[in-house]
Structure 1
Amino acid sequence: MARLWAGIVSLGCIPAATALASSSVFSSSLISQNVFNGDNFLKYDGVRGPYVDRVSYGVSRDTPAQCSVDQVIMIKRHGERYPASGEGTSIEQALKKVNNTIAGNYNGDLAFLQNWTYFVPSDCYEAETWAGPYAGLTDAYNHGQEYRERYGHLWDGESLLPLFTSDFQRVIETAQKFGEGFFGNDSYSTKAALNIISESSSQGADSLTPTCRKQDDNAQNICNSMPYYLPQFDAAADRLNAQYQGLNLNWTDVVSLMLMTAYELNTRSSSDWIDVFTTDEWVSFSHIWNINFYYCSGPGNSYMRAVGALYINATLTLLNEGPSSGSLFFNFAHDSNITPIITALGIATPSTPLPTDRVSFHSPWKTEDIVPMGGRLTIERLNCTSSALAPAGTFVRLVLNEAVVPLQECQNGPGYSCPLNNYTEFVRGLPSFVPECEVPAEEPQYLDFWWNYTTSTEENYRRGSRCNGLA
């Protein structure tokens, strides 16, 4: 196969999009007419591989010159991990087919298997990865350091700062490592207070992982049919079966092997499996995950705007209260808890439903841009002086995976931000989670933990069961 993706190793831990996105002045030298964003494998890995920045619209990530950030509210997906247990079963079955057939016949596209070993240690399915340049725990720690550099002025270095995480081991570990990176290892133990929020549906509206009791049957039927078929997967199976007598891969085996490839990078610096599959096949693989998130927890599900509106409405209260309620709110959850928030904001919603039988090349719903491993949505409250753009005031800016993403209907503030008054009006037009999702009266009716949190440091180092090999 052509080695279109081989450049990934040279990226280290720095995504390809970062250099251009962080540049605020265009070069005066001859500008290249070649754009290589489409060559980055991390944009086609179905959000199963390492973090990658969102492709920027060109708006500077830096705070606008006439503004200062006085409040930050972030929600972050857990970091890079090993496959889920169910995924591991399908991966091992596909690998068994391959290994049983080609043993001793190491040539062709799979010749590298002579020296390749499966990368998931015993009992490590579901766990955060700790080894390799793209490891989940390393990614979370580095992100904490980056945000200390960017937003450290909002913490006085002495006050205790709560962190909020859903109650799932890899999410907790992501929050812990982010905290260690932000505070420094020593200060984390005494200056952070990890608040662990139950993932039980009985949490009602007081949750980072809210559940809607009403169901969109059409969306759920599509969601449950994963993996989705596209003809490119048959082409890959036919090509490999033709090379090895007796190999009988089907299209679902191909999807499992591609899934495995993405996960391999979460613990190793490279994967020979990437070049086993063609560009067209990786594009198709990416799209089946776009479909999955669109219908399972995105705009293809009629209740997800209400689910996401719960978080957005609570953040609106913080934004209107301002720094008096706190300047830094760091939250940690899962990908499927962030996509409803993106849905409520409407910043990636396509104009027509996503097709399930072909790739939608023109859709803004690209999961790699929305919820990569370690992905995050950061809401900035800007305090700005008067300028030609707008009078002095308070503005709201959305930053998704380190790229500024303006609201469709409100972007007339500095740095394409939205005046807080207009943002308030927008949010108040969203559906209400409690009635829309029929939250029982005996369960919490609003998100409260940002105002009623524990200051105890007891959970800062909580450890669950550790997978084999993790110190």
Structure 2
Amino acid sequence: MIPSLVVISISTLILTPAATATTLSSTFPSTRIAQQVFDGDNFLKYDGIRGPYVDRKSYGISRDPPPQCTVDQVVMVKRHGERYPASGEGPSIEVALKKVNSTVQSLESGKGDLDFLRGNWTYYVPSDCYEAETFTGPYAGLAEAYSHGQQYRARYAHLWTNNSSSSSAPLVLPLFAAEYQRIIDTARRFGEGFVGEENYSTQAAMNLVSESSSRGADSLTPSCHQDDSTARDKCNAYPYRLPQFDAAAERLNAQYKGLNLSWSDVVTLMTMAAYELNARSESKWIDVFTTDEWVSFSYIWDVNFYYCAGPGNKYIRAVGANYLSASLSLLQQGPSAAGSLFFNFAHDSNISPIIAALDIANPPQDLPTDRVAFDLQQHWRITDIIPMGGRLTIERLNCSAGSALGAAGIYVRLVLNEAVVPLRSCQDGPGYSCSLQRYAEFVQGLPVFADECAVPPDEPQHLDFWWNYTTSSKENWHRGERCNGLA
């Protein structure tokens, strides 16, 4: 049992009032500062990005722009919100649950960690809802996306107000969503939160970006035609066997005669437990496993993304550079020429390559698969990079007054899951931002996606949809396959 691991409400810091010094932009509090650090007790940091959104741990840099600067342009890419398990995960979950239920229910009594199954616990996935956004409970994906839209409207309202060239013309917010239903649902709910549900039909325009590989570079989900076989083999080896999973199986099998769980059954049940919070306020399954076991579970997902869609694959930087190169063009053109707000929505595996290309979380060496590399995990921790609803927000700062922190001018700041994360090689501006000139030099030094990933010559060689979007509301309520009960 692990009562020390707690689930904290979305976007809530696990700090007492006296411990908020690291989040203050100016002065430390005069009251006693707490001497405990609670972030390590948050279950959402160990759920392998299967569970609800959680903020990235901050470096202490203020989320608000520096006093002499204003944000004049925003380019964001957001992962879809909290969802039910994937269709490929469903069968193994159902098999493992059947094994556990049949054994526990067949025994007359017990004093084990699974005794709650004799009560009213039921599996939480409605029929036909694998893959879909969740719509119940405090961590529901559709609610998270709506709340995020509201938060960004409050933060960037000045850009929305100034986005119209005519006071009589309705403002139209373009939304760019990879053409997958749960991603479209996330974009819609974010848009409704940003412009208001009553305005969504006239002030938002859903732009669907096909996930077909034939889109080439003009995509939110670009495909690389080159293969790093070493990385692919390690990617495909998931789940990785760590001794903590064997220990969990031994413990539960000892509590219930005839259970015969394998270490891979344990990983499956832990996966199911993490997903449960996306639809319910709590999961009794969390306490079935020890803190050590959850640490190992989190790590094997770090490893998986490192080799599947992260810096462990030698072609991934080029994939991420595709997005960064195009967004650099927006930043260089500026809001008057290009527009102020660019909100994009995609999958986790489309965002992690961008983080890898930025080199803001890459570990100094490859992650091993046979043990938890705690020193390396502090760099590449996937719950800090792309949790459900995770987002990378690039802000263009217009700084009007020069100081020892930098001359007046244009700077770029990266915000990952609401924490400011400076570039490793460039912090020459206010708030640890990077001057646009030096940021451009960094991005232009990245590999070219079309060349590195062998994009066929008859397919688009550059990302272009930000300059060719529709203002029509035709796709604002796009409906593909829907799960039972989802409105």
Matched, 1:380 2:395: yes
1:107 to 105, 111, 120: 111
Q: CA deviation at 1:110?
A: 0.9
Distance 1:182 1:22 in 2: 25
Q: Which residue of 2 aligns with 1:449?
A: 465
Matched, 1:352 2:369: no
Q: CA deviation at 1:387?
A: 1.7
Q: CA deviation at 1:12?
A: 3.0
Aligned residue runs from structure 1 range 379-398, under 5 A:
379-384=394-399, 385-398=401-414
Provide, for residues 313-338 of structure 1, a one-character-per-residue CA deviation record: whole Å limited to 9, x for no partner. 00100000000210000000000000
1:285 to 297, 309, 314: 297
Provide, for residues 175-227 of structure 1, a one-character-per-residue CA deviation record: whole Å limited to 9, x for no partner. 00000000000111101110000000000000000000000000000111111
Q: Cα gap change, 1:17/1:314 in structure 2, threshold over 3 Å: closer, same or farther?
A: farther
Q: Which residue of 2 aligns with 1:435?
A: 451
Q: Cα gap change, 1:2/1:442 in structure 2, threshold over 3 Å: closer, same or farther?
A: closer
3-state SS of paired residue (2:24): coil
Q: Cα gap change, 1:174/1:347 in structure 2, threshold over 3 Å: closer, same or farther?
A: same
Distance 2:396 2:242 in 1: 43
Q: Which residue of 2 aligns with 1:137?
A: 142
Matched, 1:189 2:189: no
Aligned residue runs from structure 1 range 43-442, under 5 A:
43-103=45-105, 104-105=108-109, 107-114=111-118, 115-156=120-161, 158-324=170-336, 325-363=338-376, 364-384=379-399, 385-442=401-458
Provide, for residues 58-114 of structure 1, a one-character-per-residue CA deviation record: whole Å limited to 9, x for no partner. 111011100000000000000000000111111111111101111054531111112
User: Is the CA contact (8 Å cut-off) linking 2:78 and 2:391 kept in structure 1?
Assistant: yes
Distance 2:335 2:192 in 1: 23
3-state SS of paired residue (1:194): strand
Distance 1:105 1:4 in 2: 27
Q: CA deviation at 1:395?
A: 0.1
3-state SS of paired residue (1:72): strand
Q: Which portions of structure 1, spanning 4 or more consecutive aligned residues, are displaced by more than 6 angstroms?
A: none
Q: Which residue of 1 aligns with 2:3?
A: 3
Distance 1:159 1:272 in 2: 46
Q: CA deviation at 1:2?
A: 3.5
| Larger CA deviation: 76-85 vs 222-231 | 222-231
Distance 2:12 2:266 in 1: 27
Distance 2:109 2:460 in 1: 61
Distance 1:16 1:398 in 2: 20
* 5+ residue gaps, structure 1: none
Distance 2:246 2:92 in 1: 17
User: Is the CA contact (8 Å cut-off) linking 2:2 and 2:289 kept in structure 1?
Assistant: no
- What one-letter code is carried by the residue in structure 2 that aligns with 1:213? H
Q: Which residue of 2 aligns with 1:460?
A: 476
| Larger CA deviation: 291-300 vs 26-35 | 26-35
User: Is the CA contact (8 Å cut-off) linking 2:10 and 2:54 kept in structure 1?
Assistant: no
Q: Which residue of 1 aligns with 2:167?
A: none
Distance 2:100 2:321 in 1: 46
User: Is the CA contact (8 Å cut-off) linking 2:104 and 2:115 kept in structure 1?
Assistant: no
Provide, for residues 406-465 of structure 1, a one-character-per-residue CA deviation record: whole Å limited to 9, x for no partner. 000101210000000000111110000001000001000100000011111100011122
- What one-letter code is carried by the residue in structure 2 that aligns with 1:118? Y
User: Is the CA contact (8 Å cut-off) linking 1:349 and 1:365 kept in structure 2?
Assistant: yes
Distance 2:29 2:309 in 1: 41
Distance 2:281 2:436 in 1: 43
Distance 2:138 2:320 in 1: 33
- What one-letter code is carried by the residue in structure 2 that aligns with 1:45? D
Q: Which residue of 1 aligns with 2:10?
A: 13
Distance 1:109 1:239 in 2: 9
Q: CA deviation at 1:22?
A: 4.3
Give the TM-score taking structure 1 as reference length.
Answer: 0.98
Distance 1:13 1:432 in 2: 37
3-state SS of paired residue (1:84): coil
Q: Which residue of 2 aligns with 1:23?
A: 24
Q: CA deviation at 1:14?
A: 3.3
Give the TM-score taking structure 2 as reference length.
Answer: 0.94
| Larger CA deviation: 365-374 vs 22-31 | 22-31
What percent of counterpart residues are identical?
A: 67
Q: Cα gap change, 1:311/1:456 in structure 2, threshold over 3 Å: closer, same or farther?
A: same
Q: CA RMSD in A?
A: 1.2
Distance 1:334 1:274 in 2: 26
Matched, 1:36 2:38: yes
3-state SS of paired residue (1:383): strand
